């Protein structure tokens, strides 16, 4: 189908009166069918979790203050606030409120959603605050005075657009602006194509252009490095995901960091690190794809390519993150989707980097991470200290936050528990397991299962109502995490929850992602189906009791379960999905994903894209499981037309389909906790009606 032959093309008119009338009609029918007593209970239970005053207030340190953004029942759009270390260590910190977003929304009559702030260093007296109308990716920026706690009259202001303002030096009188400044300033993906250096008191339209990319690029941006003694400026150009250039900007001249375009270079103090996605032939040797290498920036710029390999992948491991402290680089490595942390210390002079495991179990702290949980570390103040935020979270383990201190050798010298989530649901009788399914081509695919103990041996509870979740795209791994919402609405009511680590994700690094790109996309769907079959083979559940849920790229996954593997599922929840892969690159940010899926306007590529375009694969003669589609009118990333059109197509064929579209929400589907609780409860009620009753 093309727009001229597609009978449902009119539903792509996002805010058209006719399309919104159609949306409201389906919303009413969905609410009528799903707003039961159980729905109300689940919505209230989930909202209690989201609004809980016992949540961990996540913070970032700027100077002597710890900054936090907070939402609860009283402040549904949130408070931007700050406190001190001394106060944060108490059970009830005292917070200085900087900006009340609810009050601002009422005053201005706009449903503002917080998008973050960039605090000026080293003065810490100003910030560039980003706010979104209704949760869309497009936002505005306003300059904020952290002393008077008011917006700066005649300060830097950016009108609504995708993009940002970033401080360009410590004076506070110059910013980098990458945003919509008129015709030709945005890419075909709807992101900024140009960067300007904007001086206070001048017009943005007159600000000199620092760099301009191509119309077909994904996005362009710039930033200033405020590290004392290492102040410098960067420009980046992203042609697509995992295809980019990094430039040093010096005296108005741009110098490209000469590494492969698929790599991710990063500069910290005197060091250049490069995360590789493909093997790199350089300096007379082959550096491994999936690895991390390092060299002094001065040596690299002088022509040396004598990199040291800091991480080399194995068949079961992948590097998923790294964070610099003052003296160390802490790496986060997955081994069969289980975390381990390593501390690397660069040499002061010549010589190799030192390496040691960050083994908390044998440290003086006596602490150890639970099995099958996610452990992550982030630097607190990389300019000044070797302290880390340490976060631990598991499916049945409430998230905890601690401060971890290293000495200059990289040894642990202290671990201070700071905050912990309460247990939002009863885990007695529940168990976390990891299993491996075998995909069609023989690939071993891991998955996590949370279920009554032990599911395979308990005849009284089988087959279990089971919810299978997956994503499988953009090198994003799915890791264990605590969710009070899933716990209360699904696990505590007797369901099993399964997370599939399918190809396309990042669980085994770039190779796992690249194994499901473009013409190999089918492998992600084969993997997901293999996990479903393994659950049947192990006696955990059966077709009538197995549901699947996914959003965004995971919504595309769900579309292909609906059309390619309908015999495996008793119900499917498809959220903010991509479904019409012929049109996706022409809708909102779709053009930015062609490196992942291919170009449907190229006839040769369309031949393989059509094999995973659910909108085109749908056959009304086939049997299909019941489906719930959800999306958001304000999603300016994945066009709501995907879900609308698929709903119209399936409803027209007489299928069991339900549809709900949140008028606010952005790509996350909800702009407030109340909206998020409502949308989640809709999905769980739909699943319980189809799988549990």
CB 372 within 8 A of CB 357: no
Relative orientation angle of helices 37-50 and 673-687, to the nearest 10 degrees: 140
> What is the pairing mode between strands 126-133 and 139-145?
antiparallel
Closest CA relative to residue 578, chosen from 597, 604, 599, 602: 597
Alpha-carbon distance of 434 to 449, in angstroms, equals 6
Alpha-carbon distance of 311 to 288, in angstroms, equals 9
Return the active site residues. 552, 667
- Dihedral angle sign, alpha carbons of residues 659, 663, 667, 670: negative
Distances (CA, A) of 191 to 164, 226, 427, 572: 10, 25, 44, 32
Residue with tokens 């910030």: 127
Alpha-carbon distance of 23 to 20, in angstroms, equals 5
Closest CA relative to residue 418, chosen from 92, 90, 95: 90
Residue 172: which region, alpha, beta or left (left: phi > 0; alpha: psi -120 to 50)? left
Alpha-carbon distance of 155 to 109, in angstroms, equals 21
Four-point Cα dihedral 426, 431, 432, 435, nearest 10: -150
CB 176 within 8 A of CB 196: yes
Query: Cα 179 vs. chain centroid, distance in angstroms?
Result: 22
Alpha-carbon distance of 181 to 203, in angstroms, equals 11
For residue 186, what is the DSSP state? B
DSSP string, 10-63: GGG-TT-HHHHHHHHHHHHHHHHHH--HHHHHHHHHHHHHHT-TTS----EEET
Closest CA relative to residue 146, chosen from 121, 170, 119: 119
Token pair of 473, please?
Answer: 């795209």
SS3 state of residue 333: strand
Four-point Cα dihedral 93, 53, 128, 217, nearest 10: 140
Token pair of 293, please?
Answer: 């290498």
Query: Cα 219 vs. chain centroid, distance in angstroms?
Result: 18
């Amino acid at each position: 189908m093309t727009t001229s032959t597609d009978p449902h093309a009119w539903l792509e008119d996002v805010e058209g009166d006719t399309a919104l009338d159609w949306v409201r009609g389906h919303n009413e029918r969905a609410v009528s069918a799903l707003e039961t007593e159980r729905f109300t209970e689940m919505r209230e239970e989930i909202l209690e979790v989201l609004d809980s005053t016992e949540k961990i207030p996540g913070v970032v340190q700027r100077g002597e203050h710890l900054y936090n953004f907070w939402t609860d029942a009283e402040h549904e759009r949130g408070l931007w606030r700050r406190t001190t270390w001394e106060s944060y260590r108490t059970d009830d910190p005292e917070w200085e409120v900087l900006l009340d977003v609810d009050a601002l929304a009422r005053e201005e009559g706009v449903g503002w959603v917080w998008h973050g702030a960039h605090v000026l260093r080293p003065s810490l007296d100003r910030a560039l605050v980003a706010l979104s109308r209704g949760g869309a990716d497009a936002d505005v920026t306003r300059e904020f005075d952290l002393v008077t706690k008011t917006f700066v009259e005649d300060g830097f202001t950016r009108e609504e657009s995708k993009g940002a303002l970033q401080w360009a030096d410590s004076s506070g009188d110059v910013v980098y602006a990458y945003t919509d400044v008129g015709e030709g300033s945005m890419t075909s993906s709807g992101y900024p194509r140009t960067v300007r250096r904007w001086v206070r008191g001048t017009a943005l339209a007159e600000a000199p252009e620092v760099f301009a990319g191509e119309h077909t690029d994904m996005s362009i941006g710039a930033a200033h490095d405020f590290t004392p003694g290492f102040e410098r400026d960067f420009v980046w150009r992203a042609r697509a995901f995992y295809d980019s250039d990094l430039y040093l900007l010096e005296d108005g001249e741009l110098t490209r960091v000469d590494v492969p375009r698929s790599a991710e270079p990063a500069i910290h103090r005197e060091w250049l690190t490069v995360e590789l996605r493909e093997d790199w032939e350089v300096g007379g040797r082959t550096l491994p794809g999936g690895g991390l290498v390092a060299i002094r920036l001065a040596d690299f710029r002088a022509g040396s390519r004598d990199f040291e390999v800091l991480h080399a992948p194995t068949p079961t491991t992948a590097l998923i993150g790294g964070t610099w402290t003052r003296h160390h680089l802490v790496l986060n490595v997955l081994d069969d989707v289980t975390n381990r942390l390593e501390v690397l210390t660069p040499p002061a002079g010549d010589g190799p980097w030192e390496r040691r495991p960050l083994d908390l179990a044998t440290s003086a702290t006596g602490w150890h991470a639970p099995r099958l949980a996610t452990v992550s570390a982030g630097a607190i103040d990389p300019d000044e200290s070797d302290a880390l935020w340490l976060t631990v979270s598991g499916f049945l383990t409430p998230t905890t936050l601690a401060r971890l201190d290293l000495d200059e050798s990289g040894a642990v010298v202290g671990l201070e528990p700071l905050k912990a989530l309460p247990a939002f649901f009863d885990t007695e009788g529940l168990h976390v397991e990891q299993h491996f399914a075998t995909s069609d081509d023989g690939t071993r695919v891991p998955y996590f299962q949370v279920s009554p103990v032990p599911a395979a041996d308990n005849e009284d509870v089988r087959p279990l109502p089971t919810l299978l979740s997956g994503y499988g795209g953009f090198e994003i791994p799915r890791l264990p995490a605590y969710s009070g919402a899933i716990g209360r609405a699904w696990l505590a009511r007797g369901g099993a929850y399964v997370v599939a680590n399918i190809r396309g994700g990042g669980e085994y690094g770039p190779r796992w992602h690249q194994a499901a790109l473009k013409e190999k996309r089918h492998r992600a769907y084969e993997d997901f189906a293999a996990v479903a079959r393994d659950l049947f083979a192990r006696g955990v559940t059966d077709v009538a009791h197995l549901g699947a849920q996914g959003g965004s790229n995971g919504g595309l996954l769900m579309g292909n379960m609906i059309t390619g593997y309908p015999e495996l599922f008793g119900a499917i929840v498809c959220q903010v999905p991509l479904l019409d892969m012929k049109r996706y690159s022409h809708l909102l940010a779709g053009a930015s994903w062609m490196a992942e899926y291919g170009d449907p306007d190229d006839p040769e590529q369309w031949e393989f894209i059509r094999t995973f375009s659910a909108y085109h694969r749908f056959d009304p003669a086939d049997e299909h499981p019941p489906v719930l589609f959800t999306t958001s009118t304000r999603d300016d990333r994945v066009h709501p037309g995907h879900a609308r059109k698929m709903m119209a197509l399936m409803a027209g064929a007489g299928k069991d389909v339900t549809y709900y579209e949140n008028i606010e929400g952005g790509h996350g589907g909800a702009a407030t906790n109340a909206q998020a609780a409502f949308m989640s409860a809709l999905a769980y009620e739909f699943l319980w009606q189809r799988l549990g009753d």
